Amino acid sequence: QKEVEQNSGPLSVPEGAIASLNCTYSDRGSQSFFWYRQYSGKSPELIMSIYSNGDKEDGRFTAQLNKASQYVSLLIRDSQPSDSATYLCAVKPGGSYIPTFGRGTSLIVHP
């Protein structure tokens, strides 16, 4: 069974700090990796996608992918209270268009 693992948290960081969210996956053939943000009572929204090893930056967000270690992370710089949400890691296995979601990590940014 293809699995995506995330620490459920909560991860608590002070405003202005860097929040680091981690995700590991079991299917070595996975091709596409996504981070979604979900506010309480709302549906997920896409933050970042990453497809090749290395870093991808978009504003305050940086996604990091290491396929050899089967590990993907999301860094949020200058964290704001509005970043407080659950962050879902999603991995699309090779040969499938259906991503597998992790259980999500709850992030709390306190003033």
Which residues contact other proteins (rule: CB under 8 A)? 31-32, 34, 36, 41-46, 49, 51, 88, 90, 92, 94-99, 101-104
Q: What's the token pair of residue 51?
A: 């497809």
Identify which of residues 89 and 109 has a Cβ nearer to other proteins in the complex: 89
**Least distance (Å) from other proteins to the CB of residue 43?**
4
What does DSSP assign to residue 47? Answer: E
**Least distance (Å) from other proteins to the CB of residue 53?**
15
Identify which of residues 57 and 78 has a Cβ nearer to other proteins in the complex: 57
Identify which of residues 95 and 111 has a Cβ nearer to other proteins in the complex: 95
Burial of 3 (0-12, 13-18, 19+ CB in 10 A): exposed
How far separated are the first and last CA of the chain, in Å rounded? 40
Q: What's the token pair of residue 50?
A: 């990453």
**Least distance (Å) from other proteins to the CB of residue 16?**
27
Element (H, E) at 6: none
